[in-house]
Amino acid sequence: IRKFPKGDVISVEKTVKRCLLDTFKHTDEEFLKQASSQKPAWKDGSTATCVLAVDNILYIANLGDSRAILCRFNEESQKHAALSLSKEHNPTQYEERMRIQKAGGNVR
C-alpha cells in the first residue's frame, strides 16, 4: 500500500506491475536476511499469491508453489470452468531449478 502511487499515473499497468514486483522483491530480501541470521540458518522457502483488482483488470503476482485460479460459471452450459491465472514456481521445473541454483540454493 505504501508503494502504491497516489493520484494520476502515466501507465497504470506498468505502475501496478512495478509496485507488485518491488514489493515481492523487498519481502524476499527481508526473509533472506531473517533466515540467514537464524542459528541454524533457515533453508526453507516461501509461497505467496496476490490478486489486485483495479477497475475491471486483475493483476496477479505469485511466487513459490502457489497458484491463482478463477472459477467461472457458464450460464449457457450450466457448467463451472477453472481458469488458471498464474503458474507455480516449482523446483521440479527446469527454469525454476536453474534460478534457485544460480541464486546459491540447492534442490534435492
* Residue 17 scores a pLDDT above 90: no
The percent of residues in the chain predicted with pLDDT above 70, rounded, is 100
* Predicted model pTM: 0.66
**According to the model, what pLDDT value does residue 73 have?**
93
SS3 per residue for 66-105: CCCEEEEEECCCCEEEEEECCCCCCCCCHHHHHHHHHCCC
**According to the model, what pLDDT value does residue 76 have?**
92
How much is the mean pLDDT over the chain? 85
The residue with greater pLDDT, 106 or 79, is 79
pLDDT band for 9, please (50, 70, 90 cuts). confident
Q: Is-contact 106 91, C-beta < 8 A?
A: no
97-102's contacts with Cβ under 8 Å and 24+ in sequence apart are none
Q: Is-contact 49 68, C-beta < 8 A?
A: yes
* Residue 103 scores a pLDDT above 90: no
**According to the model, what pLDDT value does residue 71 have?**
93
**79-95 mean pLDDT:** 87
**20-27 mean pLDDT:** 88
**75-83 mean pLDDT:** 93
Residue from 22, 38, 45 nearest 103 by CA: 45
